[in-house]
Amino acid sequence: MPSNDVYRQRPPVAVTPFDGATFKYGFNSPVSEGEKTELGIIDALAPGGGYIPGLVMGVDAPKPARLRKQSPTEGYDGSYCDAARINTALGLGYRMVHPIMRRYGNPGGLNSRTVYIDTRPLDPETGQPTGNGYRKAWTMPQYLINRISADLAALGIEFSDGKEDDLVWGEDRLFGARRAKKLFTSSEGAPSISETFVATRIISNLPGGWSLTS
């Protein structure tokens, strides 16, 4: 991407962020056709309309490797790089600006733990999860874990063991995970509502007392 060309359109494009990823990392960038070829970047818009399957955009982690190539006449070329093209791009004169970034879970703590759910789009006809998905991760406070412990499995919530290398952190702008809520009553009789993310596969079969938020 020539550094002096700051007014080009920034269409959505995508790369595979790491080897074995079941989703594509999407971002907006005015990459040239040459950069697409050298860095393994593909268009994020599907030929028939909409986005390509399994695309996530706007998440905090993981992040693909970012590479840059200096040019004495045109500034520089550089962007996120597909995991499968890193070595090839380095051989073409690119240098690593930052490597692939992943964020692992916290398997246990006094005040919170990392949990995750399976997140996939719902088929508009069957209402069932379909296509490429990902594991949405977040930190759940221990008090909430204690409160909803009886329903965790039924909500599709799993605990991280700290070894998962495919957790996705942050909000996907294209397909955000749904949330559910339930009214609880304390031992003193005080009512309060708790909310949490839920796995896509159980949206139509929530455990008793739970309902989707709007």
- Per-residue pLDDT reduced to its tens digit, 120-176: 766 666 666 666 778 999 999 999 999 999 999 999 999 999 999 899 999 888 877
| Residue 152 counted as domain residue | yes
pLDDT of 60: 94
118 and 61 part of one domain:
no
pLDDT tens digits for range 83-93: 999 999 999 99
Domain that residue 188 falls in: 112-212
206 and 148 part of one domain:
yes
Q: Residue written as tokens 């949405």?
A: 136
Give the separation between CA 61 and CA 42, rounded to whole angstroms.
20
| Residue 107 counted as domain residue | no
Q: Give the DSSP letter of residue 59.
A: -
163 and 118 part of one domain:
yes
Say whether pLDDT at 200 is over 60.
yes
Neighbouring-strand partners of residue 119:
134
Q: For the residues 32-48, what does the mean pLDDT come to?
A: 92
Of 158, 175, 179, the residue nearest 167 (C-alpha): 158
Q: What does pTM read for this prediction? A: 0.83
DSSP H helix total and E strand total for the chain: 3, 14
Final residue of a structural domain among 70, 98, 126? 98
| Residue 7 counted as domain residue | no
Number of domains comprising the chain: 2
134 and 93 part of one domain:
no
Q: For the residues 188-196, what does the mean pLDDT come to?
A: 90
What's CA 80's distance to the chain center, in Å?
16
Judged by DSSP in three states, 45 sits in: strand
93 and 128 part of one domain:
no
